[in-house]
Amino acid sequence: ENAAGGRGITGKITIDLLRAGVSVITTGDHIWDQKEILSFIDTEPRLLRPVNYPAGAPGSGSILLETPKGKIGVINVQARTFMQPILENPFRAVEAAVTKMRSETANIIVDAHGETTSEKIALGRFLDGKVSAVIGTHTHVQTADEQIFPGGTAFLCDAGMCGPVNSILGRAIDPIMNRFISNLPASFPVAGGEVRLRGALIEIDEATGRAVRITRVDEPGPSSPATAEAEPKIDIEQAPSPEQT
C-alpha cells in the first residue's frame, strides 16, 4: 500500500504493478495518502481498500477473480486497535463479505491489515474454516508464525515488507533515529541499498478451499546481490482431512 515512495499508491503505480503480473493490490490505512486515488479507485476494481469502510466510500473491499482453476476471492479488511482511521467492526464486516463470497467460491484469501498481533490472530481464528488464508499486513516486519489452523485456514500474522533491508521500516536509518532522540520533526526518505521480497506462498485444495501448505517467502530483490547463505524455508503442511484419506 506504500508503493508511492513510502506514502500510499498512485494510479500509474497501480497500472505498472498490474502490467507486471500482479493480480490484486490490497491496501490499508494509507490508501488515501495520494489524493488522486479517491477518483482513480473506482476505475480499477483490482485495487482494493478495506472492506470495513462505511457504505458509499469509493472503491471496493473485495474482488472475485476468474482463474484457469476456478474462482478465487480476495478480501481486504483493516483492524482497529491502534489504527487510524477507526473503521467499522472488522469481524462483522469481513464475516458479511465472506458469507457473500462463499456463494461463488470456497477459495478466499483475506488480507488483515492491522497493528497488533492479537487482533490479527483473532481475525484468523474467527475465519478458520471459512476462508483459505488470512495473511496479516501493516507492520513491515515479517513474522515466523506461519501455520494452518484446524479448520484448514492458512495464517501468517504479518507478511513483511517488500523493500530496503538496511532501513527502519523502509525509511533511511539516521532521520528515524534522530527523531526518536530529539523529538523534533523531520522528513523520512525511503532507504536505498539491498531490497528483499517478503510474503507467503500458499497451496490451496481448490475443491474444498482448504489450505494444504503455507511457506514464508523471503527472497533477494532483482537489484540486490544474492546472499551467500539463504535462511532455510519451513513448510507447514496440513494433515489430510478424513475425506482425503
Cell, residue 157: 500474522
Rounded to whole angstroms, the Cα distance separating 69 from 77 reads 25
Rounded to whole angstroms, the Cα distance separating 15 from 47 reads 10
One-letter amino acid identity for 20?
A: A
Rounded to whole angstroms, the Cα distance separating 160 from 156 reads 10
Residue 100 CB contacts under 8 Å (≥ 6 apart), including other chains: none
At residue 107's C-alpha, the angle toward residues 103 and 110, to 5°, is 100
Strand, coil or helix: 55: coil
Rounded to whole angstroms, the Cα distance separating 240 from 214 reads 14
State the catalytic residue, choosing from 30, 113, 138, 140.
Answer: 30
User: Cβ distance 29 to 138 under 8 Å?
Assistant: yes
Active site residue 138: no
DSSP for 225-244? PPPSSPPPP-EEEPPPPGGG
Among all residues, which ones are annotated catalytic?
A: 30
